[in-house]
A = this chain, B = another copy of it.
Amino acid sequence: MHPIVTVGSVAFDSVKTPFGEASRVVGGAATYFAVAASFFTDVRLVGVVGEDFAEEHARVFAGRRIDTAGLQRVPGETFRWKGEYGFDLNTRETIYTRLNVFERFRPVLPDEYRSTPFVFLANIHPALQTEVLTQVERPRFVAADTMDYWIEGTPEELRAVLRRIDALVINDEEARQLAGESNVVKAARAIQKLGPRLLVIKRGEHGVLMTRDDGFFAAPGMPLDTVMDPTGAGDTFAGGFMGYLASAPETTDEVLTRAAIAGSALASLAVEDFGLDGLLRASSKTINQRFQAFKRLTHFEVL
């Protein structure tokens, strides 16, 4: 069992889907990641919030294996995002993104975080991702997320990050864009040449595709009759994935495979309610049940 340090956004989200809306609820990539990973191991959170982030909001971290010593509290307002989803939840329009205190965020790892063996760099400026890596002493396993904005806008800084990480956790569209290659297998191989040994491609409702030493692993999305809000599903997947990895003694192909299912299980629980609610309600029992449900969903006998 190893602790994980994660760096990324802690935010107030407002979201509207065809099934309802949530206003100014706690969200952000690092939040979803931390809550998900904390089901499996100790999580150390690095981020920033404003003075409007009150004790009631910090409650999402309380009673969990989440250390918030690295969560800076500074004058100003917390990062805010508002988005609206279309009819089939596969399209999303950003109404606004207000960086607020996140605009001047410089990640600073408390001394006791610096030897954390597992690191997850959520989707932030690649220069900040590098700043984090310079503060961690010989991490054992580093994973990162990124997005189209950095792929286009800061390609050199992103390449410097890619050279230093073990795993990239990324959307399929972004994988194709980063590689400049429409075939997803070729795109994966091209990205591996840029640094990360492991590539985990997130496909929304279609699940994930992951490279392994011994060939790809694919997990479909769990068919759910209630999907309320997909916000944070990708970060929740990453949290379950990394949390499971960090809880295992070794990072073998078998462990990576189960980690992808752990991430998928948590993401499937998260999207069944608005914001963090589905994830906060998860338990070892419901996670194990979802794990078994994934087995029933995908397994077959070869005659």
Contact = CB atoms under 8 A, between A and B. Distances in A.
Contact of A220 (B205, B207, B215, B223): B207
A183 B205 CA distance: 11
Interface stretch (A31-39, A123-131, A229-237, A288-296): A288-296
B185 A225 contact: yes
Contact of A186 (B225, B261, B295, B298): B225
A257 interface: yes
A297 B215 contact: yes
A302 B297 contact: no
Interface in A208-237: 209, 214-221, 223-227
Contacts of A96: none
A206 interface: yes
Interface residues of A, number: 46
A209 B223 contact: yes
Contacts of A18: 182
Interface in A146-194: 176, 182-186, 188-189
A264 to B, nearest CB: 10
A190 to B, nearest CB: 11
A219 B219 CA distance: 9
Contact of A218 (B203, B257, B298): B298
Nearest to A18: B182
Contacts of A188: 223
- Of A206, A216, A258, most buried by chain B (CB within 10 Å of CB) is A206
Given A89-B182, A258-B300, A302-B295, A218 B209 contact: no
A111 interface: no
A148 B217 CA distance: 33
Contacts of A296: 214-215
A285 interface: no
A254 interface: yes
Contact of A299 (B226, B292, B298): B298
Nearest to A296: B215
A5 to B, nearest CB: 26
B300 A224 contact: no
Contacts of A186: 225
Contact of A223 (B88, B176, B216, B219): B216
A258 B89 contact: no
A209 B215 contact: no
Given A209-B220, A261-B300, 20 more contacts: A18-B182, A87-B182, A88-B176, A89-B182, A183-B224, A183-B225, A183-B227, A185-B225, A189-B225, A203-B206, A215-B293, A217-B297, A219-B220, A220-B220, A254-B300, A254-B301, A258-B300, A295-B300, A298-B299, A299-B299
